[in-house]
Amino acid sequence: MQRPLRAAAAATLVGALLGLAQVAGAASIKDGLKIAFVPKQINNPYEVTADNGGMAAIKEFKGDGKVVGPSDAGASSQVQYINTLTTQRVNAIVVAANDPNALVPYLKRAMSNGIKVVTFDSDTAPAGREIFVNQANAESIGRGQIQLVAKLMGNEGEFAILSATPNATNQNTWIKWMKEELKKPEYAKMKLVKIAYGNDDDQQSFVETQGLLQAYPNLKAIVAPTSVGLAAAARYISSSPSKGKVDVTGLGTPNQMREFVKNGTVKAFQLWDPGQLGYLAAYAAANLASGAIAGKPGETFDAGKLGKRTIGKDGEVILGPPTTFDASNIDQFNF
Ligand code: RAM
């Protein structure tokens, strides 16, 4: 009589422990974490989608999320938000940095106050954060942009880059890889004539596009590795005599680019899902703030519907490869 009872009790205990283990696994994230997103700028549709993805994740793990940030993509404009969040003692700051170095002292101060810092979209120097959630491998984004524009130009002719701000860590890293890819012999007849900066401002990017077309009458293509720049360049070209003569490509959101793909101004462009980027960044921040990870390479963490993710070299976590959008697939995407 005693034996079966003991066995039953043991089974119950094992079951309970297993149950606990399961709960503990799912609940590696503490309830009620205060997580603040600081995008490059608040009124950029790309950043809005990314922040919304972050807020959706925070809701899933019962945290307390908010988005604060400047309306211009300047690093000094981000500092005051970081300082306020430090005073408020949030649990984590998730920031898309407008400069690799300018924010570092302020983010370091946040970290020394126990706040976890994750960069996403655009990194700081590694000293400024614990984890960088990168949309895709920077080298493959940069090389991919040249491969795409080369295809559009038939590997021949003059082209220009229309970038975001001159200090943007992400665009500058991609441009470095674009230049590296350009060294290959198959691109010998392609010439990068200018890198212009529209500062992720729609009007400024529009005017810069006009300037490029005037300054370089033989221009065959513009590559804008910024969603703001790409939409502005496409809008300018779509109603100018350059339509059909100058190709426009780069990185942009399907919703902003749809009309220009449909009207033939843009044949193809690339991006990842910014919503998933924000979602992944929120999970990384929450796991850090819960003590489940320390941000060391090789550690893995639970990223909700994105599954388990591993921290790579220099604390980098990669979302996944970019997608190329064109007339054949653009209607399958809504962001
Ligand atoms: C703009 C921003 C952002 C970049 C995208 C592609 O929205 O510069 O940082 O990742 O473009």
**What is the number of the ligand 1 atom nearest to the C-alpha of 225?**
6
Same domain, residue pair 220 and 187: yes
Residue closest via CA to ligand 1's atom 5 equals: 226
Residue closest via CA to ligand 1's atom 8 equals: 226
The answer to whether residue 6 sits within a structural domain is: no
Same domain, residue pair 145 and 131: no
Which domain, by its residues, includes 231? Answer: 138-264
Grouping H, G, I as helix, E, B as strand and the rest as coil, residue 155 is coil
Same domain, residue pair 222 and 247: yes
**Quick check: 133 pLDDT over 60?**
yes
Q: Give me the amino acid identity at 111.
A: M
The answer to whether residue 18 sits within a structural domain is: no
Question: How far, in Å, is the centroid of ligand 1 from the Cα of 251?
Answer: 8
Q: Among all chains, which residue has been given the structure tokens 């493959």? A: 140
Same domain, residue pair 142 and 256: yes
Pairing assessment for the beta strands 268-271 and 323-326 based on DSSP bridges = antiparallel
Same domain, residue pair 143 and 215: yes
The rounded radius of gyration (Å) of the Cα atoms in the chain is 23
Q: What is the pTM of this model?
A: 0.92
Question: How far, in Å, is the centroid of ligand 1 from the Cα of 226?
Answer: 5
- Rounded mean pLDDT, 106-131: 98
Same domain, residue pair 292 and 176: no
Question: How far, in Å, is the centroid of ligand 1 from the Cα of 163?
Answer: 9
**Quick check: 218 pLDDT over 80?**
yes
Question: How far, in Å, is the centroid of ligand 1 from the Cα of 112?
Answer: 29
- The domain that holds 186 is classified in CATH as 3.40.50.2300
**What is the number of the ligand 1 atom nearest to the C-alpha of 274?**
10
- Rounded mean pLDDT, 45-56: 98
Question: How far, in Å, is the centroid of ligand 1 from the Cα of 171?
Answer: 8
Query: CA-CA distance, 222 to 158, in Å (whole number)?
Result: 9
- Rounded mean pLDDT, 304-310: 97
Please write the tens of the pLDDT for every residue from 3-44.
Answer: 444 444 444 444 444 444 333 334 589 999 999 999 999 999
What is the rounded end-to-end Cα distance, in angstroms, of the chain?
64
Query: CA-CA distance, 322 to 16, in Å (whole number)?
Result: 43
Q: Mean pLDDT of all residues in the chain? A: 93
Instruction: Report yes or no: 170 and 232 within 8 Å, Cβ to Cβ.
Output: no
- Quote the pLDDT of residue 21: 38
Same domain, residue pair 53 and 94: yes
**What is the number of the ligand 1 atom nearest to the C-alpha of 251?**
6
Please write the tens of the pLDDT for every residue from 247-304.
Answer: 999 999 999 999 999 999 999 999 999 999 999 999 999 999 999 999 999 999 999 9
Q: Could you give the angle at which helices 254-262 and 227-238 cross, rounded to 10 degrees? A: 20
The fraction of the chain above a pLDDT of 90, given in percent, is 92
Same domain, residue pair 77 and 165: no
The answer to whether residue 109 sits within a structural domain is: yes
Range list of β-strands (E), the chain: 34-38, 64-67, 92-95, 116-120, 131-134, 157-163, 190-197, 219-224, 247-250, 268-271, 300-302, 308-310, 316-318, 323-326
Question: How far, in Å, is the centroid of ligand 1 from the Cα of 122?
Answer: 8
- Quote the pLDDT of residue 217: 98
Q: What count of residues does the chain have?
A: 335
The answer to whether residue 106 sits within a structural domain is: yes
Q: What is the total count of domains within the chain?
A: 2
Please write the tens of the pLDDT for every residue from 170-211.
Answer: 999 999 999 999 999 999 999 999 999 999 999 999 999 999
The answer to whether residue 202 sits within a structural domain is: yes
For ligand 1, residues with CB inside 6 Å are 40, 44, 46, 96, 121-122, 164, 168, 170, 200, 226-228, 251
- Rounded mean pLDDT, 213-233: 98
Please write the tens of the pLDDT for every residue from 62-98.
Answer: 999 999 999 999 999 999 999 999 999 999 999 999 9
The answer to whether residue 177 sits within a structural domain is: yes
Q: Which two tokens stand for residue 203?
A: 């009007």
Query: CA-CA distance, 266 to 246, in Å (whole number)?
Result: 10
DSSP letter at 118 equals E
Same domain, residue pair 103 and 144: no
- Quote the pLDDT of residue 2: 41
Instruction: State which of 37, 38, 43, 46 you would mutate to test the pocket of ligand 1, scoring each by most atoms of that ligand within 8 A of its C-beta.
Output: 46
Sequence-ordered list of residues with C-beta below 8 angstroms from that of 141, at least 6 positions apart, any chain: 135, 174, 177, 225, 251, 270, 322
Q: Which two tokens stand for residue 234?
A: 């496409």
Please write the tens of the pLDDT for every residue from 281-291.
Answer: 999 999 999 99
Query: 10 Å Cβ neighbour count for 179?
Result: 14
The answer to whether residue 155 sits within a structural domain is: yes
CA 132 vs CA 180, 241, 321: distances in Å: 23, 42, 16
- Quote the pLDDT of residue 27: 55
